[in-house]
Structure 1
């Protein structure tokens, strides 16, 4: 049994077997995040559960350190509050739910153990495109029907601004000619992408201000295929609610779609078609739930969310000489494949950014700064 997972009484309570009869299988997660001590699938007898241990004492980089501020995007207790309060169930009638909370334990060392339902089903990492589109429809219906949770004191605020500000690796390379001449970059970053991504970085404050001024929605803020599973009933089960809080309407979708490609779950060639179908489905879900706002505001929320990936170009420049590591540090990814797919995705995000610059003034926002 892993030391951080050592919880003999918890195993007996949840699985009803002695702890030495339980099998702990580590699950892929972001090992850099300071709030996550570990995640395991724990099996014993004919039962299984997922154990996630939350902490505030893990040593990590400043960008991923745990916070004691309930409004900070990486507040270490937030996910426990989401489950215990019932907030994780608010989208359930629209076809999106969270795993059931089986047991909540405040440990003597100060950590918090969440014992969650082990959901059998198909992960969104292998879904056909139609399933992603249906998830978008359900998300629209859920966010159109449920309020933004303004009165809940531990929901994150300012996620987009604070998260992107913390990701600084390689930022100086955006203006470095040598970095852009790297063979991987020259082969896989389309013509004009440098100008587009440098402009996105210089327009960052404008984009963030637009996103912060749009209609609000309760947002998961970490929606990507590795965090979604189809259960046996067909419902989408959404995992990892640690960032949950205030977001712009359309922001979750604007995160989900690029992430389908950035970690190689969907080919970049399919992104334009998927994005159109998913946006139409999201809007249909909003209307289905009774939302009657200006559709252009939703479109602006999706397109302006391109700023979430402002830091990614710099990171790709900085890591061009490193062997690409898969999510969670498990294995590697062919460099040519990663840079080709991410280059195409960044070019797609540049198109979103351009659309946002055109659309925003039509809705009363100031014009974006002119290009350099």
Structure 2
């Protein structure tokens, strides 16, 4: 990666500035924090500088790799390693560029200036450094995002049984169920010690554990019901943090960190849109009902050529349950000191879990 960052960037700078005569006067690489949860991201850098004429330039450089290179690989149970290596979609964010599928008006990708293949399942993406406008995630912004996600779904349907053969459906959702869900999240939920921990015992309602485990008995019927719905290609991680509002007004949103390269049921992308800011603690549980109603309505109106409102609702909620119900409480943080701030996060995440569970219990299979 060091060699990639220090390579001659003259051609990239000239392309980004639209100046065929630009010469680099200074160049700097800034390492960015990408958090522990990004399994396929090796590093993020901002490489920036100036030209001899005084113009400034900047690139967002994302290095991605196979799960074989993930530092936390030792946490994966030995019997799951082969499936994890084969199924984890580590290069999805690069492949969305190579597929070159049209996006709906109002949604765009960051411009990719170069893709370096370092070999051994390692890639480096040289991307536009999107300047982001200060933007509040109010209900109107949620509606705009859901509308565009509905447009995206309607523009990229996957053939169903009535129209001919189609790709295997929800393969990554099935991998998630058979891997992390069955081997990490559900065992943690079933462990009484989890619920005796002060961070959980104080903040989770007394019936939450029983309701989560009862909902787990519906996993197979939910998967089967999702398979019968209209399917589409999706973003896969369309939370607010991955839908940037560009300062230059070039689009309503710039979509980054695409992560789901296989078909999914209509409504799938709404799940991460709902839980994204709830996971970080920015969205209080009491605000979830209003966001839920706003995004479901907006998405259904945009995707009406692909699916009925009832199909959108089921696909959205069932996918949300399967992907987010059992990981809503952040069990991975139980080893940290129970500070007031961490108690507040657990309160909000327990409220998220309760909200998802109640939605899941309402599903008619």
TM-score by length of 1: 0.79
Paired residues of 2:41 and 2:64 also in contact (CA < 8 A): yes
Q: Structure 1, residues 83-131: CA drift from partner, whole Å, max 9, x if none?
A: 12313xx2232x221111111222367632211111112377x522321
Q: How far, CA to CA, are the matches of 2:94 and 2:70 in structure 1? A: 20
1:96 aligned to 100, 107, 119, which one? Answer: 107
User: What displacement does 1:40 show?
Assistant: 1.4
Match of 1:6 in 2: 5
Going from structure 1 to structure 2, the CA distance change for 1:155 and 1:12 (only over 3 Å counts) comes to farther
Query: What is the number of equivalent residue pairs in this alignment?
Result: 340
User: What displacement does 1:69 show?
Assistant: 9.3
Q: How far, CA to CA, are the matches of 1:132 and 1:72 in structure 2? A: 35
SS in 2 for 1:266: coil
User: What displacement does 1:68 show?
Assistant: 10
Match of 2:356 in 1: 349
Q: How far, CA to CA, are the matches of 1:59 and 1:204 in structure 2? A: 29
Going from structure 1 to structure 2, the CA distance change for 1:122 and 1:191 (only over 3 Å counts) comes to farther
User: What displacement does 1:37 show?
Assistant: 2.0
Q: Does 2:278 match 1:261?
A: yes
Going from structure 1 to structure 2, the CA distance change for 1:176 and 1:337 (only over 3 Å counts) comes to same
Paired residues of 1:164 and 1:311 also in contact (CA < 8 A): no
Note the 1:167-206 alignment, pairs <5 A. Answer: 167=180, 168-169=183-184, 171-206=186-221
Residue segments in structure 2 that go unaligned for 5+ positions in a row: 15-21, 51-55
- Of 222-231 and 98-107, more deviation after overlay is shown by 98-107
Q: Structure 1, residues 65-96: CA drift from partner, whole Å, max 9, x if none?
A: 9x999995523333322212313xx2232x22
Match of 2:18 in 1: none
What RMSD, in angstroms, separates the aligned Cα atoms of the two structures?
3.4
Paired residues of 1:102 and 1:116 also in contact (CA < 8 A): yes
Q: How far, CA to CA, are the matches of 1:105 and 1:269 in structure 2? A: 45
SS in 2 for 1:241: coil
Q: Structure 1, residues 313-361: CA drift from partner, whole Å, max 9, x if none?
A: 5x6456434248xxxxxxx9921111111011101001111122x2x3x
- Of 54-63 and 260-269, more deviation after overlay is shown by 54-63
1:132 aligned to 142, 159, 163, which one? Answer: 142
- Of 278-287 and 174-183, more deviation after overlay is shown by 174-183
SS in 2 for 1:6: helix
Match of 1:122 in 2: 133
Q: How far, CA to CA, are the matches of 1:106 and 1:176 in structure 2? A: 44
SS in 2 for 1:43: strand
SS in 2 for 1:51: strand
1:105 aligned to 100, 112, 116, which one? Answer: 116
- Of 277-286 and 26-35, more deviation after overlay is shown by 26-35
- Of 201-210 and 154-163, more deviation after overlay is shown by 154-163
Q: Structure 1, residues 123-172: CA drift from partner, whole Å, max 9, x if none?
A: 77x52232112110111122123323899x99995121212433233533
TM-score by length of 2: 0.81
Match of 1:277 in 2: 294
Paired residues of 2:10 and 2:24 also in contact (CA < 8 A): yes
Q: Does 2:220 match 1:213?
A: no
Residue segments in structure 1 that go unaligned for 5+ positions in a row: 325-331, 361-372
